[in-house]
Amino acid sequence: MSPETSLVVSTVRTLRLLLVSLLTLFSGARDALTEEALTEEALTEEVSADERSIGYILPLTGDAAVFGIEAKRGLELAESELKTRGIAVRLLLEDEKCLPKDAVSAWHKLDHVEKVSFIVGPSCTGSIVATAPLALHAQRPLLALWDAGREVEQAGEHVYSLGFDSEMEGELVASYLMEHNLKRASVLWEEDKFAELVKESFKEKFLSLGGEVVSQGSLHPGDQQTSALLLRLARNSPDAFFVSPAYSAVAILKAIRNLQIRVPIFGQDTFGFPGVLETAGDAKEGLIFANIELSQGTPEAHSFFEAYRNRFHEEPQSLAFAAFGYDSLIIAASLPPAISEQRAALSSLQWKGALPKGSFREGRMIRLAPTLFQVSENTVKRISPS
């Protein structure tokens, strides 16, 4: 082999070795990049898997929207609190408008389409009762809000609730009437699931204590033609009117006063909804009604109140409503992702939230007790329990 040929062969070998080295280097870099990309993808998937999707069915519009709006504010506070603990949640809110058919549609969407890990709501009696069979069929627990009455409790052992006992409101008013020797009552209600529930509890308790229902009648929701009915109810000279409205609290109050019916008026928590008493004007004077309130007596409730005021720069329309939303998200974020394990977890869960009781160990319903309030000289005062 000539020196020239040897030089060419040597050069080719050198170039070949260099090319192999470069290919090896690029291959290693490619593998490293691929491994890094896969690691990033895995991390992304892990973060996504850790983010819990939680669905809410709330009345965000309609006559009961005040509850949904306050509960939503409670959710915002809870979400911020969870972030400080490193817990990520994705909230999906559906509007039920306090209508059973809308609640059922919302449930189907959250369960079948969004496939959320947990569902909170609905909030209104009829909506809760309508969705309870769907929860049973899906074998997943239902955490209702607002109404924790006996009808809700009887909807099934998979139904849990943060709220108040609707029936207890009627019973509280009935006891007060008898204690003050108001033994003859006229009863008026709107044809609504919740309104009828409280009306029935009032009548049952009132009659059991020796009271007499001297007249009664119902209104279609939103019916403004009340004069003839009210005059008929007043004809039997009742000692008191018990009114259980759903949507027409202001109209009923004003109609009674405009007809010069001089009878004390008693009612349930619909009269305590924000805006009702303000709109009623002078017609509200003397009204006594049952409502729920959340005392700031515990450190947790006081801290929650301060957090609310700092976040939204105003007093809550109902601290209890916001607290239901807050505690519900703390609960939902604490549950295992597997739906089959959630019911057992709920029954043994303990948590610290805004509500005075943070455990379902004693039962599936967590209830705030109602209180009686009276409007006197344009001021709402607690009168019972003292």
Range 84-101 average pLDDT: 95
pLDDT band for 386, please (50, 70, 90 cuts): low
Domain extent listing, the chain: 51-165+294-368, 168-293+371-384
Q: Which of 117, 122, 134 is nearest to 160 (CA)?
A: 122
Q: Is pLDDT at 2 greater than 60 in this prediction? A: no
CA–CA dist 305, 212 (Å, integer):
43
Contacts of 180 (CB under 8 A, 6+ apart): none
What pLDDT score was predicted for residue 50? 64
pLDDT band for 7, please (50, 70, 90 cuts): very low
Residue/partner pairs of 24-27 with CB below 8 Å, 24 or more apart? none
Per residue in 10-41, pLDDT tens? 443 443 443 444 334 444 444 443 333 333 33
CATH of domain 51-165+294-368: 3.40.50.2300
Q: How many residues does the chain have?
A: 386
Per residue in 274-322, pLDDT tens? 788 889 999 999 999 999 888 777 788 888 999 999 999 988 878 889 9
Tell me the CATH number of domain 168-293+371-384, given options 3.40.1010.10, 3.40.50.720, 1.10.150.20, 3.40.50.2300. 3.40.50.2300
| pTM metric for this prediction | 0.77
Q: Do domains 51-165+294-368 and 168-293+371-384 have the same CATH topology?
A: yes
CA–CA dist 210, 216 (Å, integer):
17
**Which DSSP letter does residue 221 get?**
T
**Which DSSP letter does residue 355 get?**
S
Cβ-contact 186, 261 below 8 angstroms: no
Per residue in 40-79, pLDDT tens? 333 223 334 468 899 999 999 987 888 899 999 999 999 9
263: its two tokens: 């009878």
